[in-house]
Amino acid sequence: MKHPTGNKGGYSVKVTRPTAQMKCLYMNARSMGNKQEELEATVLLERYDLVALTETWWNVSHDWSVAIHSYRLFRRHRWRKRGEGVALYIKKSIQCEELSLKNSHEQVKSLWARNRGNKGNLVVGVYCRLPDQGEPTDEAFFLQLQEALCSQSLILLWDFNHPDICWKSSMATGRQSRRFLECTEGNFLSKVIHTPTRGDAILDLVLTNASELIGGIKTGGSLGCIGGVHTPEGYRKGKGHSQDPKF
């Protein structure tokens, strides 16, 4: 698994379920400003079923320009001048809905979508945490996470910005980072990204409470990776894959 040094790029996740596969892309965009056409071309060419974006930097002025044909778009706008913004593109043919949480908070930039199937629910969350985010906002997100964990299976795609965490020892110097570790470990969430995403630090995560379902992760450049997520709705093999390794 490779990742360009010093460049946040994309990830794919494969979650093994009995009958189906969904091909997915996760990307830390660091502004979608001039990347929308490339994203749309990539999504349509590779036939992704779900695309998760963090740091879109979108606001209401982008409403007319970010749609992709045959995809449903869920998003949260930025509320500051720079940074923030998350989005989920999901094929309209996939049975899903945005998960409305009781513990919503204006400053928590997160999205949660639930795929319903006869084998149970799969919730995909995408979240962007700012480097200077305060403890009250962190705690508000942790409440959302605990509520979302009531679902059978959960995958969280997270731009989490805790560079002081040492993953080998599961220790951190900052109080907020220690609180993050406490929350994830207390909720039995496993990290499935092990490659640095910015210099020597892991600043983007894929977390799950069902690590046995994760079938493969590949990393690419700033706009590219291939993989899939298995869901209960029918099987489709991800393009370019054969015998993906289990993690």
Q: Using CA atoms, how far apart are residues 82 and 133, in angstroms rounded to an integer? A: 14
The SS3 assignment for 53 reads: strand
Class of the 10-216 domain? Answer: alpha beta
Confidence of residue 215 (pLDDT cuts 50, 70, 90): low
Amino acid residing at 12: S
Binned at pLDDT 50, 70 and 90, residue 221 comes out as: low
Per-residue model confidence (pLDDT) at position 172: 94
The answer to whether 146 touches 123, Cβ cutoff 8 Å, is no
- pLDDT tens for 7-56 read 445 555 555 444 467 788 888 888 887 888 888 998 999 888 889 998 88
Number of helices (H) and strands (E), helices first, in the chain?
Answer: 3, 15
Q: Is the pLDDT of residue 177 over 90?
A: yes
Q: Does the pLDDT of residue 195 top 80, yes or no?
A: no
Do residues 151 and 114 make contact, with C-beta atoms less than 8 angstroms apart? yes
